[in-house]
């Protein structure tokens, strides 16, 4: 009887360890996806900033309004 309880506890402990590993892997995947998206947005922001050199935001908005009229 004691042997079977020990075996069941060992099995449960192994399952818990596997679940913990899976949770950690899922978190890492989510973090990696977030980092990738964040990196893409920063890159896009840099490209836009390069195009806006020496132009203030108000000037750009005024230009865009003139185009739409």
pLDDT per residue over 10-34, tens digit each? Answer: 999 999 999 999 999 999 999 999 9
How confident is the model over 37-51, as a mean pLDDT?
A: 85
Domain around 10: 2-68
Residue 54 has pLDDT above 80, yes or no: no
State residue 69's pLDDT score: 55
Contact predicate 52/60, CB 8 Å? yes
Task: Return the pLDDT at 24.
Answer: 97
Local confidence band at 56 (pLDDT 50, 70, 90 cut-offs): confident
CA separation, residue 16 to residues 10, 21, 48, 67 (Å): 10, 9, 48, 62
Q: Residue 34 is encoded by which pair of tokens?
A: 């977030």
For the chain, how big is the Rg over CA atoms in Å?
27
Domain count, the chain: 1
CA distance 54 to 69: 24
pTM of the model: 0.55
Q: Hey, what are 59's tokens? A: 């000037």
């Amino acid at each position: 009887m004691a042997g079977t309880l020990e075996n069941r506890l060992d099995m449960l402990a192994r399952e818990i360890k596997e679940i913990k590993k899976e949770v950690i892997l899922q978190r890492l995947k989510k973090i990696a996806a977030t980092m990738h998206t964040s990196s893409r947005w920063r890159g896009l922001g840099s490209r836009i900033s390069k195009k806006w050199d020496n132009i203030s935001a108000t000037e750009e908005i005024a230009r865009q309004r003139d185009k739409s009229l």
